[in-house]
Amino acid sequence: MAKITLEIVTPEKAVFHEDVDEVILPGADGELGILPGHLPLMTTLRSGRLVAIDGGQQQFFAVHQGFAEILPDKVIVLTDAAEDAANIDADRARAAMERAEQALKEAEGKPQGEEATELDAAEIQRRALERARARLVVSEENK
């Protein structure tokens, strides 16, 4: 059976580099399933779950925004951060999600001034919430 090479790279390091049967990644408009021979494609990524499937085994990663280049024989994921599900602490992710939800409520509840600082604060908290949710989902699916 044909394989596809998956590379997951963050600014700090290469997180994963292996040949797999299939890749599922969180595209900006929804999940994308990638098989060997896929047509070339560039897509942005949202925070979410990336799955590497090989021989029926699934390996889960939480990825946090970025880009993916899909080629017939390779998927290259460039992301702000990527975490293997085995390394995610679900309790810590849950606490981070609760903090981000509370901070987002507070940021959105403030009246906006002339500067966009409140909007910036709300966007930062939205992204933190997305990251925490992705980490929690990946951690729970890995069980």
**Contact (Cβ atoms closer than 8 angstroms) between residue 45 and residue 63:** yes
Q: Is the pLDDT of residue 86 over 90?
A: no
Name every residue whose Cβ is closer than 8 Å to that of residue 39 and which is 6 or more positions away in sequence.
70, 72
| Fold of the CATH domain 4-85 | ATP Synthase; domain 1 (2.60.15)
Candidates 18, 50, 23; CA nearest to 35 is 23
Per DSSP, 87 falls in state G
How remote is the C-alpha of 26 from its chain's centroid? 6
Q: Is the pLDDT of residue 135 over 90?
A: no
Ranking 10-14, 40-44, 73-77, 106-110 by mean pLDDT, the lowest is 106-110
Domain boundaries, the chain: 4-85, 88-141
DSSP secondary structure of 53-78: EETTEEEEEEE-SEEEEEETTEEEEE
Q: pLDDT tens for residues 108-130?
A: 666 555 455 555 766 766 777 77
Please give the share of the chain, as a percent, with pLDDT higher than 90. 50
DSSP lists the bridge partners of residue 24 as 33, 51
Q: pLDDT tens for residues 44-84?
A: 999 889 999 999 999 999 898 899 999 999 999 999 989 88
DSSP lists the bridge partners of residue 45 as 27, 66
Tokens of 124: 């930062």
